Amino acid sequence: MIQVYPAESRYAMDLGWLRSRPSFSFGAYYDPDNTSFGVMRVCNDDVVAAGRGFGPHPHSDMEIVTIVLSGAIKHEDNLGNVAVTSAGQIQRMTAGSGMIHAEYNASETEELELLQLWFMPSERGLAPSYETSSYDPKRMNNTLLPVVSRQGSDRAAAIHQDMTIYLSRLEKDRQIIFQQEEGRRVFLFVIEGRLTVDGTPLEPRDTARIEALSKMTIAADEEAFFMLIDLP
């Protein structure tokens, strides 16, 4: 089953310094029928104004992944971590037993565009931790490049959950066949371009939640940049 959520159907929030389109209930937006997808709890499509951001605030028992699409984000936390993450890099935070952090647009002149993703961890009360990883954008051309996975690697952040986040840039008229074990889920986000998944069309910024489909064909109707998450 492929359930498409068109970009224009998502809740839109504009605070002046922050423009956000959450895929799930978040903050002022609450829909009791749209709170999660498997272990996935948040997918926020955010644009943050130059020099602005989120002041110190707490988290616990959540795996938080930030994918920077353009610009750079500055992170600070009570563990002493201070880091700047740019496009081509991934930020992963394990809130675990409790963590306080702040995030800001690192630029005073340019907007920051990002996807922020939250997932329930495989167990509660983990030791809080933070990491930034880098990937080579050329390695995602016409393939699925893992940028976050349970085991991690020198090019992928490690996450405390049985899941993998892939990025791909697919040329027009090219296709990828994705297979997974029975009973798992796929969350797909079209960042740029247009795709079809087993004949189902997806426009820019559309998302799809896919269940009971262990094999699927992803084809580019035009050059497309997308994220695919393999979930339990």
The type of residue at 127 is: A
**Spatial contact of 124 and 154, defined as CB atoms under 8 Å apart:** no
Identify the residue whose tokens are 């495989």: 122
What pLDDT is attached to residue 154?
A: 84
What pLDDT is attached to residue 38?
A: 97
- How far is the C-alpha of 133 from the C-alpha of 135, rounded, in Å? 7
Provide mean pLDDT across the span 19-24. Answer: 98
125 phi/psi in degrees, rounded to 5: 75, 20
What pLDDT is attached to residue 53?
A: 97
**Spatial contact of 7 and 203, defined as CB atoms under 8 Å apart:** yes
- How far is the C-alpha of 31 from the C-alpha of 94, rounded, in Å? 26
What pLDDT is attached to residue 73?
A: 98
- How far is the C-alpha of 126 from the C-alpha of 123, rounded, in Å? 7
Identify the residue whose tokens are 């997918």: 43
Provide mean pLDDT across the span 155-170. Answer: 97
What pLDDT is attached to residue 115?
A: 98
Cα–Cα nearest to 199, from 217, 187, 215, 178: 217
Return the minimum-mean-pLDDT range out of 4-8, 20-24, 150-154: 150-154
Tell me the pLDDT tens digit for each residue of 69-94: 999 999 999 999 999 999 999 999 99
- How far is the C-alpha of 231 from the C-alpha of 165, rounded, in Å? 9
Q: Hey, what are 10's tokens?
A: 């998502």
Three-state SS for 48-67 is: ECCCCEEEEEEECCCEEEEE
Provide mean pLDDT across the span 194-222. Answer: 97
- How far is the C-alpha of 60 from the C-alpha of 40, rounded, in Å? 15
Domains and CATH numbers, the chain: 10-134 (2.60.120.10), 164-231 (2.60.120.10)
Annotated binding site: 57, 59, 101, 103
What pLDDT is attached to residue 147?
A: 97
Average pLDDT, the chain: 97
8 phi/psi in degrees, rounded to 5: -70, -15
Q: Is the pLDDT of residue 142 over 90?
A: yes
**Spatial contact of 3 and 208, defined as CB atoms under 8 Å apart:** yes
- How far is the C-alpha of 199 from the C-alpha of 181, rounded, in Å? 21
Alpha helices in 38-135 (DSSP H): none
Tell me the pLDDT tens digit for each residue of 93-107: 999 999 999 999 999
Annotated binding site for Fe cation: 57, 59, 101, 103
Q: Which residues contact 111 (CB under 8 A, 6 or more apart)?
A: 47, 48, 49, 50, 70, 71, 105
Tell me the pLDDT tens digit for each residue of 179-198: 999 999 999 999 999 999 99
What pLDDT is attached to residue 71?
A: 97
- How far is the C-alpha of 62 from the C-alpha of 130, rounded, in Å? 12
